[in-house]
Every structure is written in C-alpha cells, then in structure tokens.
Amino acid sequence: MNSKGAMVRRAVVPLVVAGMAVTLITGCSTSSSVTATADPNEKVTLEFSQWWEPELPAGALRTLMDEFQTENPNITVKLLSAPYAATKDQTVAGAASGVMSDVVGLDGAWVSDFAKQGALADLSQLMKDAGYDESQLASQVKIKDSTFMIPVLNFVYPMFTNDDLLAKAGVTAPPTNRTEFTAAAEAVTKSGDAKGWVLPLSLQAPNGIQNDVMSWAWASGGSMLKKGAPDLTNADVTSATNYVKDLWDKGVIAPGSLTMTEQDKVEEFTNGRVGMMIDSLSHVTSIREKNPNLKFSISAIPATDGFTGKRGIPYASWGIGVSDTGKHKAEAWKLVQFLMSEKTNSTLSTLAHAFPGNTTSTPDFTGTDPLFKTAFDIYKSGTPVNEFVGLPVAEQLMRDFDEQFQGALTGTQSVDDMLTKAQAAWTAKF
C-alpha cells in the first residue's frame, strides 16, 4: 500500500512472509494428473469461483478478466461470484463432489482439508511446468513441499467505528484499550439507536472465532498455540474469552450473534445498527457503495490496558488455487499467473485496499480512500498474525471453539470449562 514503491515493498514483504509462509506437516493427497501444457488452439472456458467481485468496485474484476481474455483469446473466464459464506459452501460442496471450479478463491483455513481430499492441484508442479519464477511470490501456503494456495492479496482486520454513533454517545475518539472499548460499547448501546459491537458466531461459517474473538488475544501479543500445539487455556486466551463474554453479559452486542455470519455483521454496521466491528479492509468499498452517507473510521484493535508491546494485527488473504479434477489446469494456471503479475496484482491491491501478493507490485494511494493509508500505518506499527492459516482442519477447530463458546455465552458452562473442552477437541485433531 503505497505511493513510494520500493520503500513500501521493503516494509511490507518481510511482514507478509513472516506472517503467511506456511508449511504443514500433515499428510495429504497431492495432484496426480497435472496438465503440463495447454493446446494453444483449443477453445477453453474456465470457471472462476470467488467472493472477490462483490467486494471490489462494480465491474472491476470483470474488466481484469476481459484483459486476460484479450491476452489469451482462446480462453474465456466465467466468474462465479457470491459472498464469502456462500462461496465457501459452494467450494466445500464442489470439493466433495469432484466438480470444483477450475480456479477457486480460497481462505487459508480451507486449504488443509481440500488438499487432503485431493481437490486441489499441486501448484508447485504447475509452476514448474510453466517455468514460473516463484521468487516473486510474497508467500505460499504449502503442505509438505507442495503449494496448494497462493495469497493474491492480504488484508488487515482493523476495528471499524461509526463516527456519528460514537459522537452521539459522547465518545470522542476510537477506543485504544479494553476499558475504553467497553465504555464506548455501553455508551452507544445506551443511546438507544444501536448496539455497541457486533459478533458473528455462526457454526456454519465459524470464522468469527478467528476474526472477532481470538483477535482480542492476538492484539495484546497473545497466542493460542505453544510450540505448534493447541494452548487454549493459557492466560491470554482466557482473558480475551472472558472479555468477550463480559461484553455479552453487559448486553452491548448485536442480537442474533449465535447464527450471524460475517456478511451479516457487515450489513449490521453498514446500516448503522452497530457502533463498532472488527472487519476486513476489503469491505471498505462495498460499505461506501451501499451507504455513501456513513461516516466511519478504522483503528487498531484495542489491547489490554497498559499494553506497550507490538500489537498483533489480524489478517486474511484472498488466496487462489486450481481444481485437481479440472480438465484445463495449464490454462487455469495462466489465469493465476495473470492475477499474480506485477501489473495486475498492483491494480487489484489498489482496488481492494490490500497488500499485494507479488513482491514487485506497488499499490497506488493516488485518488484512493484515505483509509487505505491509515490501514497501512496500522499494519506497519504491528505484527501480522493469523494462527489458523494452514492448521489441519482449521475451520473445524474454529467450530469446536465456537460450539463450546456458545455454551459459555448462554450460561451452560464457565469460560474455564469451555476452554478445557475446546483444548481437548483441538488436541485430538493435531
């Protein structure tokens, strides 16, 4: 995210690589039928499923696909676009039935499961077949020695605040620590127009555990792992979980949390029904488009009172993979290579307010939303962290935690008991 090119690349790339280059040690099924070369005369239609198009400016992704088709006149790209949760459901179903789209948008939490099913092609082999220089990639998600996902764009997850709701509640600035956050959430709720915070805990799409719960621990330098193994009963995770439960008990969280998805969360904020949310920077554009009059800011997720270390900055990626059951892997790789090219990746990262996946790409601040620069400053001041990326059955781990956490919120068990049970469930899967 920059206007100064090389200076920013030096700042961003080490952080992204440190936070994202993942090698797993779990077993998996690797691609056994990689297409080495494409027939230049064959007319091919590629299906590209993703949640990106709804989150980019209208027509932006289609324009890039048209550019790709101009460069590759024998390849047509059919975009299959849906919100994140729906895309996940479609991709899971496609992986199980062997009809996954040729090119698929991926979340790092999905990769281990899909690779074990044999649903994803070995991108390392595709890169080798194409003679591709992978040194330009900021990071890759690997299982053993094979790449199954390439992060195209990387997004920070800051805190969003509705400026008007906070001002009406007498809150003059975004909260910086937990005490201030609680006070702000209570003040907004008491104003009568909205709830203070929104928390999505759908068991169907349990990434709220990653983005909205565990992020409170990461923000204060905490970890849910110890030497690569689950460590959910430690003081940092216990403190963060108790803090979220305290917000629940105070009645400052939007109703419907137990079935709410990330998309629901964004809609609640966009429509002015909550004062604060933790969310991906990628939603800035869609929020602006759906509610041009909404005044909002972003800031770092509040840390524990008195915390002086580097804050953990949650991030997520728009990752990409290729179906192992598709008949046109070489053509699919051409599309991946196009998206990872310096020019296209720069354009995408600028449009989406994200960090590029190509180390030579340079997003342009000129004419962009000022929140883009703010997010970059937040990113530089902290440490990117997402401990779920690449974990075995990462989404199920979130769901295991979510199931126990819902019990704690509804009063059927204590936080200590739920963390002990979640720890046991996680340990059985490692």
DSSP letter for each residue of 239-279: HHHHHHHHHHHTT-BPTTGGG--HHHHHHHHHTTSEEEEE-
pLDDT at 369: 79
Would you say the pTM of this structure is higher than 0.85? no
Distance between CA atoms of residues 22 and 4, nearest Å: 29
CB 298 within 8 A of CB 312: no
Main-chain dihedrals φ then ψ at residue 150, nearest 5 degrees: -115, 120
**Which two structure tokens, joined as six digits, stand for 123?**
């991108």
- 3-state class (DSSP) for residue 225: strand
Contacts of 70 (CB under 8 A, 6+ apart): none
pLDDT at 79: 98
- Residue among 287, 314, 177 nearest 239 (CA): 177
Distance between CA atoms of residues 140 and 151, nearest Å: 7
Main-chain dihedrals φ then ψ at residue 295, nearest 5 degrees: -100, 120
Distance between CA atoms of residues 387 and 394, nearest Å: 9
- Residue among 106, 200, 186, 138 nearest 346 (CA): 138
Cβ-based burial of 403 (10 A; exposed 0-12, middle 13-18, buried ≥19): middle
**Which two structure tokens, joined as six digits, stand for 175?**
């909260």
Distance between CA atoms of residues 97 and 75, nearest Å: 25
Domains and CATH numbers, the chain: 6-155+315-385 (3.40.190.10), 159-278+393-429 (3.40.190.10)
pLDDT at 15: 37
The pairing of beta strand 229-230 with beta strand 103-106: unpaired
Task: Tell me the residue type at 277.
Answer: M
- DSSP string across 71-90: HSTTEEEEEEE--HHHHHHH
- DSSP string across 368-412: S-THHHHHHHHHHHSEEE-TTTT-TTHHHHHHHHHHHHHHHHTTS
- DSSP string across 122-141: -HHHHHHHHT--GGGBS--E
Cβ atoms < 10 Å from Cβ of 227: 5
Cβ-based burial of 307 (10 A; exposed 0-12, middle 13-18, buried ≥19): middle
**Dihedral sign of CA atoms 302, 307, 311, 314 in order:** negative
Residue indicated by tokens 């019990």 = 407
Distance between CA atoms of residues 202 and 412, nearest Å: 18
- pLDDT means per 10 residues, the chain with 430 residues, are 31 36 42 49 93 94 98 97 93 94 93 92 97 91 89 92 97 97 98 95 95 96 93 98 98 97 96 96 89 96 95 90 96 98 94 86 77 82 84 91 98 98 95
pLDDT at 229: 93
Distances (CA, A) of 137 to 16, 17, 324, 391: 10, 9, 21, 21
Distance between CA atoms of residues 277 and 213, nearest Å: 11
CB 201 within 8 A of CB 397: no
